[in-house]
Amino acid sequence: MILLSLISFTCTQVYKGGIWETLLIAFTFNMPQFIQFVVIVFYYTLMLMVRAILSNMKENCLNTIKEKKNPKYSIKIVAKKSTFSITYLELFYVQVIEAKSDIINAFRMPIILILIQIFHAIVTIALSLYNQTILQINLSINNITISSLCLSFQALKLYAFASSGDMIQFEVTEIARALHNIPIDQNVDIMMQVQRFSTLMSYYNPIVSVYDFFPLDATLIFNVLASATTYLIIFVQFENN
């Protein structure tokens, strides 16, 4: 965070427009970027905590599999431990998914505003780079450097949102895979626990989305870049005409 702020501040210092232009960039670019990164850091940290809890649940499922396959344990003792473990994980999973939903509900409006800013910045900066490199309008190393740095900021923010949803879905998938690998050994109680947990996982959707408009996963990067490319092509055609 500090490094990004210093790099951004350095770019404003090398800008050759004067003190007022430097202050303008500082208040219109540096400060909003800093606030956005603070929000993203808080959001991403909370999602990492959710991921850590889900990862511990996966390890618990794997330990249950080891207990079932360990010949030192009797079938009765192992069945009792596994049933208790699955029941505990089932209740804990619901709480974790609800916590994930609470995090999304708390950050969904800032996420939408930041994504709108990311989309606008990508289109605007890409069009500016096109004018500078292809049309040779206001071409300078300093302008290209600042534009490239701005694009890297947008890419970093977009990646943070996309990876936050992907890592949650990955951990839930690993839990489901470990859950279905638990040996049942003709134990009806364990079979019912596994089936109920599987049904519960399908009911409590692990997909991270904002107002159910779009998911925060790898498809977010593709959708934003595809939409920005479409708008950029339209703007270039209008400029050429």
pLDDT tens for each residue of 150-159: 888 888 899 9
What would the two tokens of residue 142 be? 């300093």
Cα distance between residue 45 and residue 65, in whole Å: 30
**Res 123: pLDDT:** 87
Let me know: does 12 contact 25? Beta carbons within 8 Å: yes
> Is residue 9 one of the residues assigned to a domain?
no
What would the two tokens of residue 237 be? 């055609």
Q: What is the pTM of this model?
A: 0.77
**Res 45: pLDDT:** 92
> Is residue 5 one of the residues assigned to a domain?
no
**Res 187: pLDDT:** 66
Let me know: does 168 contact 50? Beta carbons within 8 Å: yes
**Residue 193: which of 95, 125, 112, 91 has the closest Cα?**
91
> Is residue 95 one of the residues assigned to a domain?
yes
> Is residue 227 one of the residues assigned to a domain?
yes
**Res 83: pLDDT:** 43
Cα distance between residue 52 and residue 114, in whole Å: 26
**Res 74: pLDDT:** 41
Q: How far is CA 145 from CA 33, 128, 136, 142, 191, in A?
A: 17, 12, 15, 5, 60
Which residue range forms the structural domain that includes residue 169?
34-240
Provide the domain count of the chain.
1
What would the two tokens of residue 12 be? 């404003």
Please report, as a single letter, which amino acid is at residue 78: V
> Is residue 21 one of the residues assigned to a domain?
no
Q: DSSP class of residue 209?
A: E
Q: How many residues does the chain have?
A: 241
pLDDT tens-place string over residues 79-89? 444 444 677 77
* Three-class SS state of 137: coil
| Residue keyed to tokens 């050994």 | 185
Q: How many CB atoms lie within 10 A of CB 43?
A: 21
Please report, as a single letter, which amino acid is at residue 225: L
> Is residue 88 one of the residues assigned to a domain?
yes
What would the two tokens of residue 135 be? 């049309």
Bridge partners for 214 per DSSP = 210
| Residue keyed to tokens 């970093």 | 156
pLDDT tens-place string over residues 163-197? 988 898 888 888 888 777 777 666 677 777 777 87
Q: What is the pLDDT along the chain (241 residues), one digit of tens a residue?
A: 555 554 555 555 555 556 666 666 666 667 788 888 889 999 999 999 999 988 888 887 777 666 666 655 444 444 444 444 677 778 888 888 888 889 988 898 999 999 998 898 888 888 887 777 776 666 677 677 777 778 888 888 999 999 988 898 888 888 888 777 777 666 677 777 777 877 777 788 788 888 878 888 888 889 888 888 888 888 877 766 6
- According to DSSP, the β-strands at 209-210 and 214-215 are antiparallel
**Res 48: pLDDT:** 92
> Is residue 14 one of the residues assigned to a domain?
no
**Which segments of 134-217 does DSSP mark as H helices, in order?**
141-180, 188-203
> Is residue 8 one of the residues assigned to a domain?
no
